[in-house]
Structures are given as structure tokens and as C-alpha cells.
Amino acid sequence: MSRNQESIDIQLLEKICQLYDISVKDLNFLVVIDNNFVYEFQKDDENYILRGGTRHSSDQVQAELEWILFLHSSDVKVSLPIKSTNNNYLELVQYKDRIINAIVFERAPGKEVEYRNPEVWNEDLWEEMGRTLGKMHTAAVKYNSEKLEPKRKTAFESVHAASENILNSEEDREIIKRFAELKKKLNLLPREKNAFGLIQYDFHADNFNIDNGEIIVYDFDDSYYFFFIYDLAACIHEVVWDNPDEKKLDFANRFIPSLWKGYTEEFILDRKWLEYLPDFLKWREFVIYVTCVETYNDETTPERILSMYKEFIAEFKERTKSDDQIVPIPDDLKKWFKEF
């Protein structure tokens, strides 16, 4: 048992397990991170994920679950929450002086993405990634008309956007200033119903499985209301970043047109938003840096993650101080984003 697993009170786990008619011994520990803990378990030959914690308020978690259910009803393949023995998707568990949000999700069927296997990681999958994003944005437009209470926050209200509360005010003064300037710029953009709404906010291959050619999306814990172009930018940044520097541009030239082709089959985003791609790629880097610093300073973070994040912090400290992009952006955006 890791020191992180030991930090989870057995009495808390017993309370949660009773709500789902399982035993603590059925749980297999996965991780404690960002004020959430995650376990997996099997019941009646089906696989599930248990998530508990205090990372977001109960209202925000409830709004997350309602968004997932809406996506499911909109033909987006997602990992669904299941109901407790009390017939609730979300259980609020009293633990000492806190309320713990407890949820169980179906474990997404299929397999994780094999990045290094060209038979899997290729244009066909990249187009399917685009189609999945397009479906989510189509659903988001419909969701904009829903009268929701509670609502998820905007990305401008997220913990990471308040970088001054996480970063070192002296050491990171320049980064805090640059992020504040970018927030001010993006906050002035029009929040058009076909370009702004509830998004996944962290869509990349670590947050979905592939099952018979279909993508099943999970991990909506960071969903916020934000500009649709950010979902594209975050996805592009994540997969390009995964390549060695000397291969980043060649990969981007293959990946982005395929992603865009699939996306435009499901959703039409006004091309004017492509001009803001550099800003949203840079927003992604600020979010990564602040997230890594926050996680690194969290005493519950596992050792294996600490060593990895230490490298990320060093890299993104420099990236956030620079105007350089993760990959050079062509003067003619049609090279990446063709008109179909």
C-alpha cells in the first residue's frame, strides 16, 4: 500500500462502498491527485471507476454529471456515471468536517491509445478525434439554450486561471503578468453561441479509449465554459508536444488537417476563430504550468508524478515566458485548416 493510499481513511471508503453495494476489499487503488482519489473495481463482471474528493464543489460536480448525461443523449460516446443504492449519481459523504463528492463511472470499454503504433495512431483515428470534438461542440450549442442551475464555471473562473494564488509571486512575477494580459484579451472576445459553451477542456488521447473504431471519452472533471477553439488548440498542443522537437512540425502538418477534416464533418466553426489559435495554444501552456506547480506542491501527489512534473515545470516556465509556439504556425492557415 502506497503512502498515498494510506492517506485515505478506511472508514470513508467503507461509507462510500456501502452506497454502491461493494466492499473495500473490491477496490484497487489507482491514484490520489488534486484533492481527488481514484479506485477501480469489478462488480457482476463489469468494470467501474470510483472517484471521490473535494477538488470541485458538489454543485460543480453535479453540473459535470448532467453535462456527461446530456452528451450521451446527443450521441457522444462517454463513460457514464451509475446510480448508487440511493438512486443518486452523486453521493455527498460526510467525512470529519468536510463533504466528500463520491461518484462511480462505468469504465470505458475498449483500449487505451497506443501512441507508438502506426496501425492505431494514424489519420483515421485523428479524423475520428475531430468528429468526436465536433459532436461535443454541436451538443454544447444545444446545451447553451438549457436553463441550468447549477452551471459549470467559465475557464476564466477556474482555479488555474487565478495563477496568482498558486504561483510564487516573486519568482513567477513575469508569468503571472503575461497570463493576466492574455486573460484580459480573451475575456473581451464575443461569447457567441456557436463558438462558446461547455467544453471538455482537456481532450486528448489520454482521456479516451478506442472501442471498435469508436472513441469513448472520459474525465470531464475539468469541463468549463470556454471558447470551442480551445478544445482544438489543447488537443493539437498535447499531441504535438509528445513529439521530439525535430519532428513536431512534420507531425503537426499530418495531424492537424486530419483532425480538422473530421471536425468539420460534425461542426462548422467560423474560420475567424482560427486567427486566435496562437492565443489559445499559449493559454494551454499557462494552464499546464500552473497545474503542474499546484500538483507538485500538493503533499498527496505520488512520487512518480512529482519527478515527472518537476521536468514539466522547468520546461513550461520557459515556454510561458516566451512568445514562441509549440510549433511554428503557417502564415496561411489553410495549410492546416482547409475549407471543406
If you average pLDDT over every residue of the chain, what do you get?
A: 93
Supply the pLDDT for residue 339: 87
pLDDT digits (tens, 9 = 90+) for 289-323: 999 999 899 877 878 888 889 999 999 999 999 99
pLDDT at 4 over 60: no
Mean pLDDT of 227-247: 97
* Domain contains 228: yes
* Domain contains 207: yes
Helix, coil or strand: residue 5: helix
Question: Across-strand partners of 43?
Answer: 46
- Could you tell me if 235 and 86 lie in one domain? no
* Domain contains 314: yes
Domain that holds residue 326: 111-335
pLDDT digits (tens, 9 = 90+) for 69-106: 999 999 999 999 999 999 999 999 999 889 999 999 99
Supply the pLDDT for residue 289: 96
* Domain contains 329: yes
Number of domains in the chain: 2
Distance CA 87, CA 280 (A): 40
- Could you tell me if 303 and 167 lie in one domain? yes
- Could you tell me if 94 and 225 lie in one domain? no
Question: Of 66, 85, 106, which residue is a domain's last?
Answer: 106
- Could you tell me if 287 and 262 lie in one domain? yes
Mean pLDDT of 147-170: 87
Helix, coil or strand: residue 115: coil
- The CATH number that applies at residue 92 is 3.30.200.20
Is residue 5 very low, low, confident or very high in pLDDT (cuts 50, 70, 90)?
low
Distance CA 111, CA 116 (A): 14
Supply the pLDDT for residue 133: 98
Helix, coil or strand: residue 103: strand
The phi, psi pair for 78, rounded to 5°, reads -135, 160
Helix, coil or strand: residue 241: helix
93, 103 in Cβ contact below 8 A?
A: no
Question: Of 80, 106, 132, which residue is a domain's last?
Answer: 106
Supply the pLDDT for residue 151: 87
**Bigger pLDDT: 144 or 77?**
77
- Could you tell me if 182 and 326 lie in one domain? yes
pLDDT digits (tens, 9 = 90+) for 250-294: 999 999 999 999 999 999 999 999 999 999 999 999 999 999 999
Q: Which of 204, 219, 226, 59 is nearest to 155 (CA)?
A: 226
* Domain contains 75: yes
Supply the pLDDT for residue 7: 59
- Could you tell me if 15 and 133 lie in one domain? no
Q: Cell triple for residue 95?
A: 467525512
- The CATH number that applies at residue 238 is 3.90.1200.10
- Could you tell me if 14 and 67 lie in one domain? yes
- Could you tell me if 162 and 34 lie in one domain? no
Tally of CB atoms within 10 A around 241: 19
- Could you tell me if 85 and 229 lie in one domain? no
- Could you tell me if 19 and 141 lie in one domain? no
Tally of CB atoms within 10 A around 3: 11
* Domain contains 2: no
* DSSP symbols for 48-114: EEEEEESSS-HHHHHHHHHHHHHHHHTT--B--EE--TTS-SSEEEEETTEEEEEEEEEPPPSEE--
**Bigger pLDDT: 74 or 3?**
74
Distant-in-sequence, close-in-space partners of 298: CB < 8 Å, separation ≥ 6: 33, 34, 35
Mean pLDDT of 146-156: 83
For cell 488537417, what's the residue?
A: 257
Give the global pTM: 0.94
81-82 and 98-106 as β-strands: parallel, antiparallel, unpaired?
antiparallel
- Could you tell me if 75 and 151 lie in one domain? no
* Domain contains 340: no
pLDDT digits (tens, 9 = 90+) for 98-140: 999 999 999 999 999 998 899 999 999 999 999 999 999 999 9
Distance CA 281, CA 258 (A): 18
- Could you tell me if 211 and 277 lie in one domain? yes
Is residue 144 very low, low, confident or very high in pLDDT (cuts 50, 70, 90)?
confident
Is residue 3 very low, low, confident or very high in pLDDT (cuts 50, 70, 90)?
very low
DSSP letter (8 states) at residue 78: B
